[in-house]
Every structure is written in structure tokens, then in C-alpha cells.
Chain A
Amino acid sequence: GENVEQHPSTLSVQEGDSAVIKCTYSDSASNYFPWYKQELGKRPQLIIDIRSNVGEKKDQRIAVTLNKTAKHFSLHITETQPEDSAVYFCAAGSTYKYIFGTGTRLKVLA
């Protein structure tokens, strides 16, 4: 069945450094790729997304890239800050139904 793999499971970076989280999906019909940030005890929040007709999208310090041929997409966070510490989930899907990755726990060390 459809599957989304996410790596790494944990990531520690120094404040100010960049963080990259990678996901691979299996369903070639997927055309929408959102990223969610979940802080401890809170609901997941959409932080950025990309559609299949776009290769890259940026919003301030965060960016997402998509390689449809390789079925890879990645989240890039630059100039990390302590408030970026959270669990990040990628997802892939189409027509309302999304499969979530296993999550990456990002720790930004001050």
C-alpha cells in the first residue's frame, strides 16, 4: 500500500544552523505534499506545502523541494531558532487523503 518514509527520526542542530528533513513516497498519484509542525502536547499545524506542479516553495526561513521523478521531497529550515524545536511530519496524497511520515524530532540547541 501507500507509504511515506521520513528521515531522520531525530535531528539536533545548533541554533543558527540549517536543518533538512527528507521524505520519500510510494504512490505516484500523490500530488500534494504538506508539512506539519507539532509542538509538545499540541495539535499538528500546517507550516508549508507544495503541489506536484512546483519544484520548490519558500516561506521566510522554511522551504520545501519536490522531485517527482525520484518521489522525494524535503523540508529545509534555515537560521534555526529554539522555537523551531518540535516534531515535524511530512505527508503525501491527493483528493483529501494523506499518508503521514513517521515524524522527525528536531532539537535546536541554544
Chain B
Amino acid sequence: SAVISQKPSRDICQRGTSLTIQCQVDSQVTMMFWYRQQPGQSLTLIATANQGSEATYESGFVIDKFPISRPNLTFSTLTVSNMSPEDSSIYLCSVDWNYGYTFGSGTRLTVV
């Protein structure tokens, strides 16, 4: 399966600031996915990132709040912009590897 390196692993941020999360995959993949997991909750898809095109956002998530970059087939970033305490969550990137996701280790974000 693919190996995904995600960073930072955790951060504490001031409200109103932005945080960029990076994911690096050890293999080329067409699509990368960004998920949010609020404490004790399930996983919610934020957006799908394709190389060379704009990300596709799910209902309730917008590009201005969660801009995504996908400069090549092994890397993607998710930015959480103008943060509020409600953005405190775990953010995970993932790739679909021969069916079934492989997830990054996650970024635990706390907004104070």
C-alpha cells in the first residue's frame, strides 16, 4: 500500500490565522482526498484533489475556507483559513490504493 507522510501532526493556532497541512505520498496517485474528523465523530470528506485541476469540494465546504493545492502526483496541501474554534478537529489526507483508502497520520488542530 502507499505510504503517506502528513505534517504537522498537531498544532495550536490563534483564531483568525491560517494553517497549511502537507501530505506527501511515496507513489504517484491520481486523486488525493482530504477528510475532517471532529472529536469522537466519523470522517467527513472535505474535497477531492486532482493534479492539474481545481479541487472538488463537498457540500458545506468552500474553497475560500479550505484552499487546496495539488502541484504534482505525490503531494497536496490543505489550508484551513481564518480559523475559529469550530475548526478544531483532526484533518486527514488519504489516497485510494487498489480500493480502500490509506490515510495519513492526521493533523490534530486546536484553535484557541
Q: A: which residues have CB within 8 A of B?
A: 1, 32, 34, 36, 42-46, 49, 51, 89, 96-98, 100-103
Contacts and interface: CB of A to CB of B under 8 A. Distances in A.
Contact of B100 (A46, A100, A101): A46
Please classify the interface of chain A as helix (H, G, I), strand (E, B), loop, or mixed, using the class held by over half of its residues: strand
Nearest to B108: A41
By secondary structure, the B interface counts as strand
How many interface residues does chain B have, given as a range?
10 to 19
Contact of A43 (B41, B96, B103): B103
Interface in B11-62: 31, 33, 41-45, 48, 59
B103 A100 contact: no
B96 A89 contact: no
Contacts of B43: 44, 89, 100
Given A43-B106, A100-B43, A49 B100 contact: yes
Interface of B: 31, 33, 41-45, 48, 59, 92, 96, 99-106
Contacts of A101: 42
Given A34-B100, A96-B96, A97-B48, A89 B31 contact: no
A32 B99 contact: yes
Closest 6 CB pairs of A and B: A43-B103, A46-B100, A100-B43, A96-B96, A34-B100, A100-B42
16 contacts: A32-B100, A34-B101, A42-B105, A43-B103, A43-B105, A45-B103, A46-B102, A49-B100, A96-B31, A96-B33, A96-B48, A96-B96, A97-B48, A98-B45, A100-B43, A103-B42
Contacts of A1: 59
B53 to A, nearest CB: 15
A34 B97 CA distance: 12
